A and B are shown apart, each in its own frame.
Chain A
């Protein structure tokens, strides 16, 4: 049984705000990873969504690099405009500054293809925490 996802009642992020997603593997923004993330979200909450972090005054890049992204050596950097220009939407889910990237119509393959093709760059995380195993 799927759970109800908490939606934050707040204004949408501005067009120039930065959107980050930690890279899971070796190959950059891998469609297979995006698909797997979206499917898991669907199993949990009943909609296809891919988790991202949206930077703002309270959560600037440097803070996100050392907290939410601290375990990631690299992350993908988008802009809100870049995502919405691909027909994607940002849904304010969970706790700030977590969002889900979603596609209208809840279509998995369209979400994955559009997110993978959205303008982005891969950034190194200078604050990555490489703890010993």
Chain B
């Protein structure tokens, strides 16, 4: 099962080619800051992403590869741990 940090429609792009989502929809809104690495999308269409900016209640992000995500650092929120 994919753990989505930021629900998003990856069809939507802004005028700079960035994807957009609502900050309020994030699992951990406080952790969604510029430079944060997270998983954005839906369970059937998701991507690693890096937050570009947060403005007016919206998150602007760019899709990145898994390799790039690993290089950039930890996730916004650790994956749930089993008991």
Contact = CB atoms under 8 A, between A and B. Distances in A.
Interface of A: 1, 5-6, 21-26, 33, 36-37, 40-41, 43-44, 50-53, 68, 71-73, 93-95, 98, 131-133
A22 B10 contact: yes
A72 B47 CA distance: 10
Nearest to B15: A6
Interface of B: 2-3, 9-17, 20, 22, 39, 41-48, 56, 58, 63, 65-66
B65 A131 contact: yes
B44 to A, nearest CB: 6
A131 B17 CA distance: 21
Contacts of A40: 9, 12, 20, 22
A50 B13 CA distance: 11
A133 B2 contact: yes
A60 B73 CA distance: 35
Nearest to A34: B9
Contact of A73 (B2, B39, B44): B44
A53 B10 CA distance: 12
A71 B39 contact: no
Contact of B20 (A24, A44, A72): A44
A40 B16 CA distance: 17
A1 B57 CA distance: 10
A6 B16 CA distance: 10
Contact of B11 (A37, A43, A44, A73): A37
Can you list the 5 inter-chain pairs with the closest CB atoms, starting with the nearest? A51-B11, A6-B15, A131-B66, A51-B12, A24-B42
